[in-house]
A and B are shown apart, each in its own frame.
Chain A
């Protein structure tokens, strides 16, 4: 029994070390898996804001990273679905940076039935250039309404507009009912 416990302890230390190393090599600034609430959103965005403020990064880039994080996290806290037996809105959040850009990666469970509509929105946004994104944003602001969940249907358009990058996404099927939706937003460093 004790032996087993010890072994487990070691493998966890290994895991923690491997993770530390891999975070260092991949220049990951933040990783989180768990419930995503407004409190969590505020905490992570201000954490990232403060750590970016210490860098040489331009205000513009800092602001864009902050902005994308808020939209992605609020998307999760408003729209994420749950695995059976879970109540809360959960998700993963990762922020990494390389020479060229910051990547904000978020992931959450989504009901398979919602995928076609979301995919359509993502493809639509990805098909537009800056000018047309701005036109779509204005149209949606005028015609849209704040939903019961508090969303305005503007988040994805805005991320694409502010970052100037295509939205990179994937759906990984978890079972017949739900999938895992991963969204990568890229903010270029200039």
Chain B
């Protein structure tokens, strides 16, 4: 195969290799009609700059969706979720276009008005992968806009979820809060300097002005910027436990109250700079930690996968209907490549259903009329009709998702610590109070408030938020996207890793073919390839791809028997390919997947299909084997057991033909034995297991592919670096613990001043930022250094460089 790659023609639109029947148009070569149509469309409108900006930016157009797909947009009610604004003249509509990936896309999508004059303007939000189109609805309908986008290669992604109400508005409040806190903090700091450096008695009036200004500046911080802390602390208390925000709120409130008292009574300058500083740094840390991957969805449910509408046959007519309105007894028309949205009975057509997403079985399953088909399968081949027997919400697949999740007990290190911390601080304050009550009761209030001010866990918290934020960022740059910071801790305590096979260890939809039998002549290979290229069956497609000899040639008497095989005359040779039973009429079954060949009256042999494993599995599996216990759960049959055993080692636990429930039960079984389980999977069949496990990592083929709900998303190309990621997360845990120890040392220093009752605002103002900053630098530096030593990319530039 490798020898032919350099002379292979690639499509001028999408860059995919043209194996079968390249389509010519002028000078250009395309892999399929779809790509040519897009090129023609752009060429006609003078948009060929699209091809200048990036090399082969197009998207493969080999699997066009059927024509009626966007018919549902003609229905005002169903189009509503996509419309932002509408008046008598124009409409603003917004779509999610996950295919958007480069500046060419940007160029094309913002020049839509040149493709159709009905479009007034269009604007891309690249980070959100959204396109807002402003169009004149007298000249072009919303459906036509969607179809125009589809024709240009950017089919809007619409799912059932879009019907479920408005998306949460992206909140900018935290940015405002941070900005205001920073502004007030810096100004209060400046206004406090004169006092720290000493003002003469003659400037008594000026001092008063400074203090009052400080008080005024601290109000927005106290009442606006710090709100999230109050809210978190309150929700913690309402649920009956003290979370880490409780001591922060205590410190903020006590500091503010004492400062206001000092200023009003004229006894001191207060600790406004410390208070605003705490709020500012804490907000910054939180932001860094939460900001990371807001564009990735870790919360997908079945609705994200399901189409928004399906074609329903009613009184002989084909109408588009919203999915929730489907009822038992309706007849659905499912086209090639569409998802079956509800359990039903096949009433017409030959179904060849790809269940890989639901069950993990890698090959499509043929179904005869009258058989039950489950929701979640994808039809390949001609359109079929399905009589619905269960509503969407009751279907097998939907049930898988909706199963109640076991409530997990919060036992994160930081939560345990925060609870202890609050009690320790209160105890120290109480001791100080008791001590001063005995010796000098006038200083009680002073000492107690000072303890509460200085013992704010902000250094403690800052170290973890900043370290986690940095680690999330570095891992994200390397292709592992974590849902939140707690996942780092869960990864670092993992003891057992469970893998899925199909799509996780193997490349989805790709097979390795080996030929068994008498050697084939080149002309015979060509004849087989030509026949195989005519068929839509995935096995035929990979066979044609494997032989790579197809060329335009007429096949006479072409006949495809779905689920069995294909036959036809190529250059006077009668060729037949298909299952053993179909081709050789033998009744013997086969354990593995084979395609038999017949040429005239001759049976030269068969092609054996085996999964195409990702590169380097043996190497990284070997590394993991030494550190963790490993298991493999596959929905597939056990034809590749020996190979997997070789990689995972003797005595490793490998189970085949596992249903989604089996997988989940297995994880639960491991957890009951006290194991911390990490599940690495990809499909819907792993959804339950991913959710049940302590860390569920969903493997995604491309950045825009859809993964089930999980704790982390791993770029499939980076799966070989899993051992490094695991090691890095363990290192992160150690860095956080080290910084905690350091911050406790700082706290002890601060407390030693505080209990004596002589914490001056100057000491507080120096101690607070310096402890926070030094810890920040330490954790940030060590996390970056560790990443560099392990060969992880630190910045996005390096990532691009490393990937070439």
- Answer yes or no: are A and B bound together in one complex: no
| A-binding residues in B (CB < 8 A) | none
